[in-house]
A = this chain, B = another copy of it.
């Protein structure tokens, strides 16, 4: 299993030590909303920050573009993705396809050790939600996503896990743009409900609960909020 707190899980094997590291750092920054949708990522800036040449930065940005977290526009540069309402709908539709099945498989494979990890993680989530301040807020957002990734990791299918990693990260962007209540990612008790179903090894129930969970997250969105800044994007095209 994937440590509940740790850095972003590595892709397949170690490939580009440094590019991977930068990718992970940017990935985290985006998921934790320290980088807002639409923000420009200048190659030289990132390069200086990590002390590597543009070549390496470029590789990282391309990776992020593949995950849909960054949009690269030719001759214009890389920007943190700014999902449209339509993309957002597709993201949640995809999650509704994949996550319930992941939950079913997780229910079959859940070990005692996994259960303890999930319980510990739930405690963390609770604690972070109780705290105040932007840092706790960020940590809570990340923890909420990580919960879903833990699920994927128990299901023991690395491909689906990677798909989920992409979908969760992009969901975070969508919520940042279109979430209304602060409570977006935080239907906390539902995470507990999911765990209950898993512990009971009731795959169908787990799938059902997760479907509702996804519904609830999406219900809290308002796609009419044009996202606080399609800025130049909107005016350009």
Contact flag A74-B159 (CB < 8 Å), given A63-B62, A66-B66, A101-B97: no
Q: Does A14 contact B (CB under 8 A)?
A: yes
In the complex, what residues of B have CB within 8 A of residue A63's CB? Answer: 62, 66
Bound Cα distance from A102 to B94, whole angstroms: 10
Distance (whole angstroms) from the CB of A32 to the closest CB of chain B: 22
Bound Cα distance from A65 to B162, whole angstroms: 13
- Residues of chain A from 143 to 197 with CB closer than 8 A to chain B in the complex: 157-160, 163, 167
A158 near B98 (CB under 8 angstroms)? no
Looking at chain A's contact residues, the main secondary structure is helix
Bound Cα distance from A28 to B48, whole angstroms: 38
Question: Most chain-B CB neighbours within 10 Å: which of A68, A74, A159, A167?
Answer: A159
A15 near B65 (CB under 8 angstroms)? yes
Q: Does A16 contact B (CB under 8 A)?
A: yes
- Residues of chain A from 48 to 107 with CB closer than 8 A to chain B in the complex: 59, 62-63, 65-66, 68, 71-74, 87, 90-91, 93-94, 97-98, 101-102
A residues contacting B by CB (< 8 A) are 12-17, 59, 62-63, 65-66, 68, 71-74, 87, 90-91, 93-94, 97-98, 101-102, 157-160, 163, 167
Q: Which 9 A-B pairs have the closest CB atoms?
A: A97-B101, A66-B66, A94-B159, A90-B157, A90-B159, A94-B160, A93-B157, A15-B72, A163-B163
